[in-house]
Amino acid sequence: MANNKKYWVGLEELHQTEAFKEASENEFTESSLSVDEFLGETELSKTTTNRRDFLKFLGFSVTAATVAACETPVINSIPYVNKPEEITPGVPTYYASTYYDGMDFASVVVKTREGRPIFIKGNRKHGINQGTVNARINASVLGLYDGTRLNGPKVKGASAKWADVDADIKKRLQAAADGGKKIALMTGSVISPSTNQAITEFKAKYGEENVVHVSYDPVSFKGIRKANELSFGKAMIPDYDFSKAKVIVSVGADFMNNWLLHTQYVAQYSKNRNPQADWMSKHYQFEGGLSLTGSNADVRVPILPSQEGKALVALHNEVAKLAGGSSISGSTEGVPMDMVAKAAADLFQNRGKSLVIAGSNDANVQVVVNAINVLLGSYGSTISTQVETYVMQGEDADVANLVKDMNAGSVGALIIGSDINPAYSLPNVAEFKAGLKKVGLTVSFSSHADETASLCEVICPDNHYLESWNDFYPKTGHYALAQPTINKLYDTRQMQESVLRWTGNDMAYHDYIRQVWQGYTASMGNQEAFLFDDFWFNALRNGSVNITVPASDWTPALDAAAVSSAGRAITSAKASSGIEVSLYTKVGIGTGAQSPNPWLQELPDPISKVTWDNYIAMNPADVEANGFNMHLGQEWPASLAKLTVNGQELTLPVVPQPGQKRGSVSVALGYGRGAGQENIGKAAFRTEQYGGYAKDADGNKIPIGKNVYSLVGMNNGQFAYHITGASIEGTGETFPIASTQIQHTLMGRDSVVKETTFDFFKSAPKEAYNAPHELAVHEGGETIKKNVDDIDLWAAHPVKGVGHRWGMSIDLSTCIGCSACVTACHSENNVPVVGKDEVRRGRDMHWMRIDRYYSSDMDLEKGAEEGKGVIESYREMEVPTYDNPTTVFMPMMCQHCNHAPCETVCPVAATTHSNEGLNQMTYNRCIGTRYCANNCPFKVRRFNWFNYKAYDKFADVNPAQDAMARMVLNPDVTVRSRGVMEKCSMCVQRIQAGKLDAKMKGQPVEDGSVETACAEACPTNAITFGDLNDTDSAVYAGENDKRAYHALAEVGVKPNISYKVKVRNA
Amino acid sequence: MHKEAAIREPLILGDKSYHDITVDVVGPIENKAPKAWYLLITISSIIAVWGLGCVVYLISTGIGTWGLNKTVGWAWDITNFVWWVGIGHAGTLISAVLLLFRQKWRMAINRSAEAMTIFAVMMAALFPGIHMGRIWLAYWVLPLPNQFGSLWVNFNSPLLWDVFAISTYFSVSLVFWYIGLIPDFATIRDRMTNPTAKKIYGILSFGWSGKAKNWTRFEEVSLVLAGLATPLVFSVHSIVSMDFATSVIPGWHTTIFPPYFVSGAVFSGFAMVLTLLLIMRKVMKLENYITIKHVEYMNIVIIVTGSIVGVAYLTELFISWYSGVEYESYAFINRFSGPYAWSYWCMMTCNVISPQLFWFKKIRTNLTATFILSIVVNIGMWFERFVIIVTSLHRDYVPSSWSMFYPTWVDIGVFVGTIGIFFTLFLLFARFFPVLALNELKTILKSSGEKYKNEDH
């Protein structure tokens, strides 16, 4: 019906007039060809190009033009065909594992996202380190994604197949054994029961008499083992318990950084650093260079490294005097007797609860230490007589003998572990290299063609530890497991598996470990209803397991003759002439195994704050006397000096280091890797100002820093790290140094850092050591003094008592400045690495930094007393105490102010306050005026000066520019673009995740369930994070503690982060 | 007709008729430019191109090409910005404030001064733009309706106030300047024989016919714009100063800033006017219009504003001590005794001591001395901004972050480049625009012309 209706536009149409017809025909025709005619045109259809082809051509050409016009970024993303059960995209998975590289041991938890490990944290629930990790362990995850790792075995530099390599090696090993030549297995300290088992099998296969296993530690502690043999007839290292020690005297032992099982000691030590507990430990440190441990000591006494032994003899005699024991004869001239006597008195007063340790690798020195500990009754208390420590098994003499044998041609095969790099770290590298040429078969397990591996015939690259199974037995009764957290990225094979293959054992290493463990547990007899699977999975889940081992108690029966002969050796040593050099390992780079890791290179040294270099640390007074540059900064380079030791010459920059004993210098080991142009990592070499590697005159890449392992001496069969008789001479040249801090003193600003002594803290009221900043205000017609925290110029953000208010409490007393938080923040928040040149220009990007201040001899009051003007006083306050400054560390990050000065000044409101008290940075909105950074009193904002993720300058330093290393980026955190401001977000991604988690569980966010990366990484729990609105939370207690204060309170910015007054037990 | 006291010195020297004024002013536009002009514009445009090249490099590579760092987030960029804005002040002050105060001597200098203002503000406006990390998003500082949700600008931010202040100032100055140019363009149009030029000047003159009605409207608009521009003279630099004054940084957080900045701006603006005019009167033979008396008047303004600035410096120092605030006092101690003390003392010498020389009549009527001192003052004023910005930032609250600022070649290139652009624009102005307000000058010829004054006697 409806279709029958017809509508006309007008009567003309209805009547179909002539005029209308004509008009309608011409209505749309402008050309002579009407539509019908056009479509009916047969000529067109005769062409070979039909319409469809035309459209195809059009499409292709447009696409081609588009493709040619722009370079499309290729992003490889491969979706799961079947979703793995345990992986949910966006939800992290955690695995308990263990880190061990010969220097650091720690039970860790590995965070993986979509199958990629991206973050390492300490395992707080299990393991001897109680959650302690350091910067090196934290940063180790980056090594997994190192694109310069070898992909598959190499024979003489050429790629090979595993099967061929195995067959060849097996044949040649057998030939070597048959030929009566030695097969040497050179590894780091092996603390893995299964590895040891595999080595035993290997020995069995090729003949016990033919195979030697040489343990080699680049930084050796053989002296302690040897001393225990001399003292007690037992070559071992006992377990130390710092948590029981009320008085700790360390002579040159950097037990917070590198001394034995330091991850355990840090956790124990920090327990007794709370001034609000019943007691607080007292820590004496006698040392030459200012170490991390020394900077945390309550009393630090600078001594020459060569005096360590004498100081201990003196200490022994002082303690003996008090204890009524016999003293060691001999001169202890030059030792600061007053401090020794004080330490001895404190030790003796707390006998049985005190501990003396030494860092020296000289057995004689350690024998005296043992004697003191016996006098003090430390054995059975702070030093275990039941538990042994198995790390650091290096046999320096064996290493020396091996090198001799190699040169003698008696070694038929040399197999070098992946954890050592002797061609880099041996002092007698030349001999080693010469010997290597005389060895029939040389095999390296190194993951890189590094200094050693590149000289070996065969390289059988080992897995990264995050790809490996492993087990560890760091100390008696404690087993730890490492499990793979990702499939192998390259065609590598685990070292142990390789060894097993060569013995003809085809078992997977995982099964092998299980088998070994099964054997162990069976032998322990502790098997009532013992289900191995339960035991195994429990151990795997926890990462470690403690087993009661039948006690093998021993009594410390001291060999008095050993003590007196050691004392004689020490006291009769000639007084040193010339300058003393002490070689140490840095917090970041350690022994150098991870030196191509850009996170660690960029990590400022906790003490000197220097990045990307090693240097001669020299007392400023000596620097001045030598006429070297005193002030280092962007355009103030360091002087280069030639260090001559035993005929060897090394040119290094000189960095003035307050606290360094005059007459001695310290130089860090672990630098100068890749000097032979080995491909050990992108970030291993110096880069130019506009990108690319710096090249020397021969066109070679220049390593970062200098290798000083060649200076390591040999003393009674042990490596010696203190060398005397050096000389230093300026070359007249300069060298830029990149330091993140150029002002080293606090300038008397006690509203930044507050500190007091333990005695004063105990006796004085809060106002005396933590006086609130008060301002005069008018109220009710009267002028009254009011705490600045209670004064508001304008309405506060309504965050107090409403919902969450995230905050932090940072205890300056327990912060040891180790900088684990810095690398943790780096890896959690995808902080760019900017390289040396940019750090030198004051553009490091760390969201979290540790400010380090030295004390100064001057303050305004003293200056006034001495009749000095303010200007002069201030100028002198800029200069730290040269000889023995006290050091304070202050972790500094965005303070999340409730009256944030940055928020008001941003013209586009890119930085705002959240209703949970966070100061938020909206990168998308930021236009980069940098006004916020200028107006930040704490200077914690970081600007993206360049496009760090693409600009050439950073191609070789920033992991985000490497296709492989990019995988380490945390997918929860944006990689910032050029021109935007960034800063600490208080790990807002973790807060969100925590809130979501609580919401799903239907319960409030539990205190401690959300932790920032820095708080999580802090080995001493100096950083507490939580909800300030939760009155039961730890952070609330911290904020309301009597030691709590807000940094720069008088500025009135009302931070959500509070600090706790540093208390020294001085 | 306006009568002027006989003891007042004449403002137009020599025996000038109305026609002479026209010829003197329009002559340079009609005739071929001298060789010196070509030489100068070549040099200045090379510098300008170099500067623009630096800007392109800066924008394409990143702000890191400047010498800034984590502690010093602003240095030469904002120094240059404030310096150029300050220079721009003289033009508006001369044309607006002096117009309201009926200072006839302004007529010889206001045109060039206003042109200088426009160009200086253009140079100034460049810096807040290029100092942004992401200049391509610069339009976000404008309160525009947008598709980013309900995103709005932050009205608390002094930088936003700056945006409004500078853009208002620039547009009002531009309109004011242009209105003044209209009758003069008409004069040029009427004299032009070249049809193209005639056409162009015809368009530029908006069909000015010189009728009484035109003149009344012209006078009225000038007065209205002067009224509008006068508060801007004070507001712009007050607001610029608030970039610093509203912050929490010691050395910036100072209530004295607005008046101190305004007088500093006038101070530097007059110095720059002198620098330019002393050359121009010589080259373009305008000695009869821009007389020693004009120079002296301007020098007097410089003494006054320079002294205000000096007092402000001393007040700052006094307050920093009197406040008893540790950080405040240190900021100032550091200024005059720290690593940048040389820049502080350079500023003090140039800005406080050197203008005092103008108390001597011999010096303030000496053209060479004036020329040298005018440059000295502008150097001093540049250092003033550098001192305020860099010495306050480089050592603020937390000593661990103390640092130094060193300019890079890009910092220098951009700054020098803006000077090149500025002079290029000014040279173009001198070549194609009437450099004196010739029609306005004619209004005072009979009252203030030397010949007519003498005839009255």
Cβ–Cβ of A979/B132 closer than 8 Å? yes
Instruction: Say what the pLDDT of residue A46 is.
Output: 62
Question: For the segment B38-97, what is each residue's pLDDT rounded down to a tens digit?
Answer: 998 999 999 999 999 999 999 999 999 999 999 999 999 999 999 998 888 888 888 787
A-B CB pairs within 8 A amount to 190
Query: Cβ contacts (< 8 Å) between B243 and chain A: which residues?
Result: 931
Chain A's closest residue to B248, CA to CA, is A935
Of A562, A564, A582, nearest to A572 (Cα)?
A564
Same domain, residue pair A301 and A333:
yes
The answer to whether A545 contacts chain B (CB < 8 Å) is no
Instruction: Say what the pLDDT of residue A76 is.
Output: 66
Average pLDDT, chain A: 87
A478 belongs to a structural domain: yes
Instruction: Say what the pLDDT of residue A740 is.
Output: 92
CATH number reported for the structural domain that contains residue A685 in this entry? 2.40.40.20
Tell me how far apart the alpha carbons of residues A737 and A705 are, in angstroms, rounded to a whole number: 11
Of A459, A439, A354, A400, nearest to A183 (Cα)?
A439
Q: How far is A905 from chain B (nearest CA, A)?
A: 4
- Residue A369 near residue A227 (C-beta atoms within 8 A): yes
Same domain, residue pair A214 and A228:
no
Q: How far is B267 from chain A (nearest CA, A)?
A: 27
Same domain, residue pair A671 and A717:
yes
Same domain, residue pair A998 and A941:
yes
* Phi (first) and psi of residue B453, to 5 degrees: -60, -45
Cβ–Cβ of B401/A946 closer than 8 Å? no
Higher pLDDT, A83 or A696: A696
Strand bridging mode A755-757 / A738-739: unpaired
Give yes or no for residue A526 having a pLDDT over 60: no
Among A15-29, A189-203, A462-476, the range scoring the smallest mean pLDDT is A15-29
Cβ–Cβ of A634/B69 closer than 8 Å? yes
The answer to whether A325 contacts chain B (CB < 8 Å) is no
Closest residue to B248, CB basis, from A633, A901, A947: A901
Cβ–Cβ of B62/A951 closer than 8 Å? yes
Instruction: Say what the pLDDT of residue B342 is.
Output: 93
Q: How far is B307 from chain A (nearest CA, A)?
A: 27
Query: Cβ contacts (< 8 Å) between A907 and chain B: which residues?
Result: 141, 153-154, 157, 159-160, 163
Chain A's closest residue to B67, CA to CA, is A841
Same domain, residue pair A722 and A584:
yes
Question: For the segment A669-682, what is each residue's pLDDT rounded down to a tens digit?
Answer: 999 998 888 888 88
Query: Cβ contacts (< 8 Å) between B78 and chain A: which residues?
Result: none
- CA-angle at B430, arms to B424 and B431, nearest 5°: 90
- Which residues 933-962 on chain A approach chain B with CB closer than 8 angstroms? 933-935, 937-939, 941-947, 951
CATH number reported for the structural domain that contains residue A1011 in this entry? 3.30.70.20
Instruction: Say what the pLDDT of residue A77 is.
Output: 67
Give yes or no for residue B109 having a pLDDT over 90: no
Long-range contacts of residues A971-975, Cβ cutoff 8 Å, at least 24 apart:
A971/A90, A971/A113, A971/A114, A971/A118, A972/A113, A973/A828, A973/A829, A973/A830, A974/A830, A974/A923, A975/A830, A975/A832, A975/A949
**Rounded average pLDDT over A830-859:** 92
Closest residue to B333, CB basis, from A870, A925, A1051: A870
Cβ–Cβ of B333/A979 closer than 8 Å? no
- Residue A322 near residue A345 (C-beta atoms within 8 A): yes
Mutant choice from B391, B400, B410 vs A, greatest count of A C-beta within 10 A: B400
Give yes or no for residue B318 having a pLDDT over 60: yes
Give yes or no for residue A33 having a pLDDT over 80: no
Q: What angle do the packed helices A396-408 and A429-437 form, to 10 degrees? A: 40
Q: How far is B388 from chain A (nearest CA, A)?
A: 13
CATH number reported for the structural domain that contains residue A426 in this entry? 3.40.50.740
Give yes or no for residue B334 having a pLDDT over 60: yes
Chain A's closest residue to B139, CA to CA, is A927
> Per residue, what are the HEC states of A748-806?
CCCCCCCEEEHHHHHHCCHHHHCCCCEEEEEECCEEEEEEHHHCCCCCCCCCCCCCCCE
Cβ–Cβ of B333/A874 closer than 8 Å? yes
Same domain, residue pair A790 and A883:
yes
What percent of chain A lies above the pLDDT cut of 70? 95
A113 belongs to a structural domain: no
Q: How far is B74 from chain A (nearest CA, A)?
A: 7
Instruction: Say what the pLDDT of residue A335 is.
Output: 87
Give yes or no for residue A499 having a pLDDT over 70: yes
Tell me how far apart the alpha carbons of residues A417 and A100 are, in angstroms, rounded to a whole number: 14
Q: How far is A1049 from chain B (nearest CA, A)?
A: 11
CA-to-CA dists, residue A328 to A315, A365, A571, A819, B273, angstroms: 10, 12, 9, 41, 88
Of B221, B125, B238, B233, nearest to B179 (Cα)?
B221
Query: Cβ contacts (< 8 Å) between A1047 and chain B: which residues?
Result: 398
Same domain, residue pair A321 and A234:
yes
Instruction: Say what the pLDDT of residue A525 is.
Output: 57
Query: Cβ contacts (< 8 Å) between B337 and chain A: which residues?
Result: 871, 874-875
Give yes or no for residue A605 having a pLDDT over 60: yes
The answer to whether A842 contacts chain B (CB < 8 Å) is yes
A841 belongs to a structural domain: yes
Give yes or no for residue A785 having a pLDDT over 70: yes
Question: For the segment A979-1023, what is each residue's pLDDT rounded down to a tens digit?
Answer: 999 999 999 999 999 999 999 999 988 888 899 999 999 999 899
A199 belongs to a structural domain: yes
CATH number reported for the structural domain that contains residue A275 in this entry? 3.40.228.10
Q: How far is A690 from chain B (nearest CA, A)?
A: 10
The answer to whether A113 contacts chain B (CB < 8 Å) is no
Query: Cβ contacts (< 8 Å) between B246 and chain A: which residues?
Result: 904-905
The answer to whether A854 contacts chain B (CB < 8 Å) is no
Among A37-51, A538-552, B116-130, B430-444, the range scoring the smallest mean pLDDT is A37-51
The answer to whether A630 contacts chain B (CB < 8 Å) is no
User: What is the complex's ipTM, to 2 decimals?
Assistant: 0.91
A146 belongs to a structural domain: no
Chain A's closest residue to B70, CA to CA, is A843
Instruction: Say what the pLDDT of residue A1012 is.
Output: 92
Question: For the segment B165-220, what is each residue's pLDDT rounded down to a tens digit?
Answer: 888 888 888 888 888 888 888 888 888 888 888 888 889 888 888 888 988 988 88
Chain A's closest residue to B150, CA to CA, is A909
pTM of the predicted model, to two decimals? 0.88
Asked whether the CA dihedral B309, B311, B315, B318 is positive or negative, the reply is positive
Under the banding of pLDDT at 50, 70 and 90, the label for residue A44 is low
Cβ–Cβ of B70/A853 closer than 8 Å? no
Q: Supply A6's token pair.
A: 């017809």
DSSP state for residue B410 in the 8-state scheme: H
Among A308-312, A824-828, B445-449, the range scoring the smallest mean pLDDT is B445-449
Instruction: Say what the pLDDT of residue A72 is.
Output: 59
Tell me how far apart the alpha carbons of residues B44 and B39 are, in angstroms, rounded to a whole number: 9
Average pLDDT, chain B: 87
Question: For the segment A362-393, what is each residue's pLDDT rounded down to a tens digit?
Answer: 888 899 998 888 888 888 888 888 888 998 88
Helix (H) or strand (E) holding A730: strand A722-735
- Which residues 699-758 on chain A approach chain B with CB closer than 8 angstroms? 741-743, 745-749, 751-752
Closest residue to B61, CB basis, from A851, A852, A946: A946
Instruction: Say what the pLDDT of residue A297 is.
Output: 92
Instruction: Say what the pLDDT of residue A176 is.
Output: 85
Query: Cβ contacts (< 8 Å) between B141 and chain A: which residues?
Result: 907-908, 927
Give yes or no for residue B280 having a pLDDT over 90: no
A874 CB contacts (<8 Å, ≥6 apart)? A747, A860, B330, B333, B334, B337
Chain-centre distance for alpha carbon A449: 24
Residue that finishes a domain, picked among A366, A389, A412: A389
Instruction: Say what the pLDDT of residue A611 is.
Output: 92
Asked whether the CA dihedral A876, A882, A885, A891 is positive or negative, the reply is positive
Among A631-635, A804-808, B283-287, the range scoring the smallest mean pLDDT is B283-287
A100 belongs to a structural domain: no
Under the banding of pLDDT at 50, 70 and 90, the label for residue B34 is confident
Among A409-413, A517-521, B332-336, the range scoring the smallest mean pLDDT is A517-521
Cβ–Cβ of A951/B398 closer than 8 Å? no
Residue that finishes a domain, picked among A516, A542, A568: A542
- Residue B424 near residue B48 (C-beta atoms within 8 A): yes
Chain A's closest residue to B163, CA to CA, is A907
Instruction: Say what the pLDDT of residue A598 is.
Output: 92
Instruction: Say what the pLDDT of residue A74 is.
Output: 65
Give yes or no for residue A529 having a pLDDT over 60: no
Same domain, residue pair A457 and A415:
yes
Same domain, residue pair A774 and A640:
no
Q: How far is B244 from chain A (nearest CA, A)?
A: 9
Cβ–Cβ of A749/B399 closer than 8 Å? yes
A138 belongs to a structural domain: no
**Rounded average pLDDT over A769-781:** 86
What total number of domains does chain A contain?
5
Instruction: Say what the pLDDT of residue A229 is.
Output: 87
Instruction: Say what the pLDDT of residue B98 is.
Output: 79
Residue that finishes a domain, picked among A671, A706, A739: A739
**Rounded average pLDDT over A903-930:** 90
Same domain, residue pair A720 and A762:
no
Same domain, residue pair A200 and A348:
no
Q: Which domain holds residue A852?
A: 755-1064
- Which residues 905-924 on chain A approach chain B with CB closer than 8 angstroms? 905-909
Instruction: Say what the pLDDT of residue B397 is.
Output: 92
Tell me how far apart the alpha carbons of residues A1029 and A164 are, in angstroms, rounded to a whole number: 65
What percent of chain A lies above the pLDDT cut of 90? 33
Q: How far is A1053 from chain B (nearest CA, A)?
A: 9
Cβ–Cβ of B248/A1053 closer than 8 Å? yes
Same domain, residue pair A247 and A377:
yes
A605 belongs to a structural domain: yes
Q: Supply A862's token pair.
A: 């003293």
Question: For the segment B348-388, what is each residue's pLDDT rounded down to a tens digit?
Answer: 999 888 988 989 989 888 888 889 999 999 899 999 999 99
Q: How far is A753 from chain B (nearest CA, A)?
A: 10
